[in-house]
Amino acid sequence: MTAIKIPVALFSASTKDIRAYCAFLDFKCFNSEGRICPPFERDEDRFYYRYWRGRLIARGWARECGKCFTLASYQEVWRSLGISRTLDKNLKRHRYHYRKVNIEDLPENRKEYSKILRDMLLKTIAGNKVRQIRWRLKSKRVHNQTETFISSRTVARLVGLRSAASGSKYRSKLFNVIQEPVQKVKDETGYRYKCKKIAL
């Protein structure tokens, strides 16, 4: 049974990085050994192949090999995304932690399973952010806090965006936002909307 790998220690990534990694995983589905060759039967597949072949090679995630191209290893791609090895207490050494997703469990339609993979990566980022906040509270000996403020711009930076509106959209999508009335507060720059709380 063929499986693809989702890194666990993913703390931030731009939406472009996430789309590129989903394309990398998609090609891994074609051939788990990493050698991808044309032609494809459908015009849609040929366009997809040409489009992502160039972008993965430009990122260093693939190498040209005649008419074909060869994918880089998972470890090379994870390093380029800024993912570090973490300590495995059982093996007593540092390694890349990941979880496997069986290809057979995904829909056959590319758009559908690409969306599922993108959501998995975004939820990994959000889950790591929540654990990071919990660890900081624990280090300050705060044990009974179940919610905290998080701004839309903070969320936007997690996924490589700048817009507060985009951050607000992703905050609602990725975190468990506490429903409260919209409030305006005044500071030295004028009036602004108060940050929303998320559940920890």
Q: Is the dihedral of CA 167, 172, 174, 178 positive or negative?
A: positive
Distance of CA 12 to the CA centre of its chain: 7
pTM across the whole model: 0.85
pLDDT at 55 over 90: yes
Q: Is the Cβ–Cβ distance between 96 and 67 less than 8 Å?
A: no
46/110 Cα distance (integer angstroms): 14
- 82-102 pLDDT, tens digit per residue, is 999 988 888 778 899 999 999
Q: Which residue has the higher pLDDT, 33 or 114?
A: 114
8-state DSSP, 72: P
Confidence at 19, pLDDT banded by 50, 70, 90: very high
- Please tell me the least confidently modeled range out of 54-58, 115-119, 187-191, 192-196: 187-191
Residue pointed to by tokens 């472009």: 16
Residue pointed to by tokens 């985009």: 166
